[in-house]
Amino acid sequence: MTLEQEINKRRTFGIIAHPDAGKTTLTEKLLLFGGAIQTAGAVKSNKIDVSTRSDWMDIEKQRGISVATSVMGFEYKDLKINILDTPGHQDFAEDTYRTLTAVDSVIMVIDCVKGVEQQTEKLMEVCRMRNTPVLCFINKLDREGRDAFDLLDEIEEKLDIKVRPMSWPIGMGKSLRGVFNIYENNLNLYEPNKTKKVTDVVEIKGVDDPKLDQHLPESMTKELREEIELVNGVYDPFNKEDYLSGKVAPVFFGSAVNNFGVRELLDCFIQIAPPPKARENELRLVTPDEKKFTGFIFKIHANMDPKHRNRIAFARICSGKFERGNNYYHVRQDKPFRFSNATAFMAQQKETVDEAFPGDIVGLYDTGNLKIGDTLTEGEKALYKGIPFFSPELFREVINLDAMKSKQLEKGLDQLMDEGVAQLFTYEMGARKVVGTVGALQFEVLQHRLLNEYKASARFEAVNIYKACWISAKEQSKLDAFVKDKYRHIARDKEGKLVFMAESKAWLQRVQDNFPDIEFHFISEF
Ligand code: G4P
């Protein structure tokens, strides 16, 4: 197969949702359709086993929270589909943001009872930053959910994206009878089915087909016909370009746990979802069909094997062909590296991979040379752009509890920050170290891992910080003057970039007013 054929075969996407909306269930059903697993029930009953394989940290197992972002690949109708799962817990949202930099599109799961939840809004913002195409799956139709039109209005309003229904529910909850597939113009009759594939699709040609009346009671056919007419009147016809540019989200309805509406979603997805796209590095736009390999690291997992302190770096391939055993150029370290132990992800298994193509994710075993945002090439000295760090929400000072182990603490913090567990800010004055996170749980993860993996005991003490702002100015002298003036509040991030640690919103506002030449950024990349 040519490189171009390999690229066109691939669809790499992420599933995002508010916890409990049904992301894991949907992922399982997609794998089931892809034949990557035999029965969905089997995977469910294996939940602990699955988490052992994908969530490598003890603490996650103890808490039963899927912190890890795992990758699952499968083949479906001649396409190679890569699903990047994202952590459900909101404290690990940073992880999800970074995963979204490695996908070409997104499926967003929304619970029809709860509607659009807050976390979904934030995730959508991240998709919008990169114009990532989004497809919505409104789940749990077997429950008494909200009116379909209301849900669509809410998506448009809260997520600030236009929608286009591609399927339509016939009833809901106890009265759910099926889904009319607007895209394919056929009818899928409802049959709760947790373990088998649903093949009970009745072929009908549009809502006016008299066959519809044979399968549904009169009141339902009447309502369905009226609703479909309304849908076609209210929403613009589906336009693939608008979907691909992130302007319109096609919407599907279904019930993942009952394996219902999932095939419609998947079959449409493979027709409309984008193959790997071109990506910008510091110098230029790199197209996937370029002969030379390039890729970047978006995620690092540590200690899958407690006996060895090894890490696995997840690399998204952007162009060319990755070949195991080849030397690749590590741009940040300006050194060649050989990855003889690359891993691919198929369904729940990891297997050694000899070659991989744009859109694929490979796992690279690493002993501490790679970190998030690193770029690998065949010689080009340019980093990929767009793996930003956001200003954390919570800040705590690191207090070393064992003076004999300060080296271990330093090393532990350094490596855990490379993995993106949290962000470290070191004050210019006194070298105070402050860790920033999105949620409180990350401090517990840090403390646990520092102790267990690095034998360093530390405490995290609350500090009064509202935001970390990366600062810049057109004139270096202005920046120098600001740093001098606000010396006590200036820190450096792990890359050595200058950061202003603002204590409150009001104070930040005052400082911004007083120093109009200084630019304050809430994202590390500006
Ligand atoms: P998440 O990954 O987004 O956090 O959600 P997950 O798939 O784990 O699903 C959360 C709960 O919602 C699970 O129930 C799951 O069975 C249920 N669920 C998923 N899809 C549907 C659906 O279409 N209809 C209904 N009624 N429920 C659905 P649980 O009780 O937490 O777990 P389990 O005991 O069922 O495994």
- What is the per-residue pLDDT across 379-413, written as a single tens digit (0 to 9) for each? 999 999 877 788 898 999 999 999 899 999 999 99
pLDDT for 520 = 96
Q: Whose CA is nearest to atom 34 of ligand 1?
A: 44
pLDDT for 200 = 60
Residue 348 burial by CB count (10 A; 0-12/13-18/19+): exposed, middle or buried? middle
pLDDT for 69 = 40
Q: What is the identity of the amino acid at 63? A: R
Mutate to test the pocket of ligand 1, among 18, 25, 43 (most ligand atoms within 8 A of CB): 25
Ligand 1 atom with the smallest distance to the CA of 143 is 26
Distance of CA 128 to the CA centre of its chain: 13
Alpha-helix residue ranges (DSSP H) falling in 78-217: 93-100, 118-129, 148-159, 211-215
Ligand 1 atom with the smallest distance to the CA of 258 is 23
Q: Could you give the CA distance from residue 11 to residue 275 in angstroms, rounded to a whole number?
A: 5
Range among 11-25, 85-99, 151-165, 297-311 rated most confident: 151-165
154 C-alpha vs ligand 1 centroid, how far in Å? 22
Q: Kindly report, residue by residue over 21-80, the tens digit of the pLDDT.
A: 988 889 888 888 877 666 554 443 323 333 333 333 454 444 333 334 468 888 899 999
Which DSSP category does 91 fall into? G
pTM above 0.75, yes or no: yes
pLDDT for 195 = 45
155 has a pLDDT exceeding 90: yes
Mean pLDDT taken over the chain: 85
Q: How confident is the model at residue 118 (pLDDT cuts 50, 70, 90)?
A: confident
99 C-alpha vs ligand 1 centroid, how far in Å? 23
Q: Could you give the CA distance from residue 165 to residue 238 in angstroms, rounded to a whole number?
A: 8
SS3 state of residue 96: helix
87 has a pLDDT exceeding 80: no
The encoded tokens of residue 372 equal 């998030």
Of 160-174, 197-211, 441-455, give the lowest mean pLDDT range: 197-211
- Residue 138 and residue 151 in contact, taking contact as beta carbons nearer than 8 Å: yes
Q: What is the identity of the amino acid at 431? A: A
Of 52-61, 417-426, 516-525, give the lowest mean pLDDT range: 52-61
Pocket of ligand 1 (CB under 6 A): 17, 19-25, 44, 88, 139-140, 142-143, 255-258
Q: Kindly report, residue by residue over 318-372, the tens digit of the pLDDT.
A: 999 999 888 999 999 999 988 877 777 655 556 778 899 999 998 888 888 888 8
Q: Could you give the CA distance from residue 512 to residue 221 in angstroms, rounded to a whole number?
A: 61
Could you tell me which residues come within 8 angstroms of residue 317 by beta carbon, excluding any fewer than 6 positions away?
A: 293, 294, 295, 356, 357, 358, 359, 360, 361, 362
pLDDT for 483 = 96
Of 101-110, 289-298, 417-426, give the lowest mean pLDDT range: 417-426
21 C-alpha vs ligand 1 centroid, how far in Å? 7
- Average confidence (pLDDT) over 271-295: 95
The encoded tokens of residue 107 equal 């499926």
- Average confidence (pLDDT) over 438-462: 88
